[in-house]
Amino acid sequence: MKKYTVAVLGATGAVGQEMINLLEERNFPVGKLLPLASARSVGKTIKFNGEDVAIELACDEAFEGVDIVLGAAENDIAERFAPAIVKAGAVFVDNSSAFRLRDDVPLVVPEVNPEDVKWNKGIISNPNCSTIITVTAVNALNKLSPIKSMVASTYQAVSGAGVAGMAELKEQVEALQAGKDVQVKTFAYQIAYNLIPQIGGEQMEGYTSEEMKLHFEGRKIMHLPEMNVSCTCVRVPVMRSHSISAQLKFDRPISVEEAREILKDAPGVKLVDDLNAKEYPMPLDTTGQDLVFVGRIRPDLTDPNGLCLWCCGDQVRKGAALNCIQIAELLIEK
């Protein structure tokens, strides 16, 4: 089997570390791993396949001879290095939002639009975490009847803010239990025992940038340019795994039985839907899982062509690192 030189840009962050873990876990054919980070991390090592691999400096020259670059850095870093990556002949699978809505860049969820990988010009974008989880959950239903619109509320774990977000929740809970004042650094307000109904800055008409991602990215991934999405994003005191409540409207009525039948075999999905047995998707159950759990499927009482559901998925895995690795797997398959 051919082996590939794989670089991870932003190797020391939560998503970068998960990417490296998944490369090993999924036996990706890595001939050489190149963890890249800022100067302060150079010289440190990470474990990969039982060996210590030194972290190297992210610079233009680092991408020479690399086949695939997995991006786990912020927009400015992705934009800074993308030209050098493409010039070196590598394919950049980028987790930032820098290139997602560019017409010449595929935006891919492998369970939904794997064929879009074929037309990349050196960059493939990984969608927003909540977008990935939601479209994985609803794509099979779109095959029964086109989705005309969706109203979604996301309940996003602190892992969406990286290592610092997870540390802040833990520190605040410990402080409150000890009767101490909490320190607020990563989030705008205390997140322990609280909900914060804003993720991202205002983008349009009171909607935040995070809320508009599901609208624009969902259209592109599902090839539904006319689909409208109205979204409310909420940060919740959950460590990992995002949850989404979705109200879908179709061209025709879809029964709960139809929905369950197609979802039980849908790629990337696990159907967990028995209200009487108290079985439904929850963040604790999906943490560390690769699948998106879907349940609470029921008719929309406001529209005969509507359906409501609830889904959960691990934000760091399927919502970020795993989706990138799956895209890389598509690349080597094709």
Active-site residues: which are they? Answer: 129, 242
**HSE value, Cβ hemisphere, 13 Å, CA-based, for 13:** 24
**Distance in angstroms (rounded) separating the CA atoms of residues 234 and 315:** 14
Which residue type is seen at 36? L
265: phi then psi, degrees, rounded to nearest 5: -115, 10
Beta-bridged to residue 271, according to DSSP, are 294
Provide the sign of the torsion angle of the four alpha carbons 55, 59, 64, 67, taken in this order: positive
**HSE value, Cβ hemisphere, 13 Å, CA-based, for 220:** 24
CA triple 306-108-249, angle to 5 deg:
5
DSSP 179-233: TPPPP--SSSS--TT--B---S-EEETTEEHHHHHHHHHHHHHHT-TT-EEEEEE
C-alpha Rg value of the chain to the nearest Å: 20
Distances (CA, A) of 213 to 72, 140, 164, 227, 297: 18, 21, 23, 13, 24
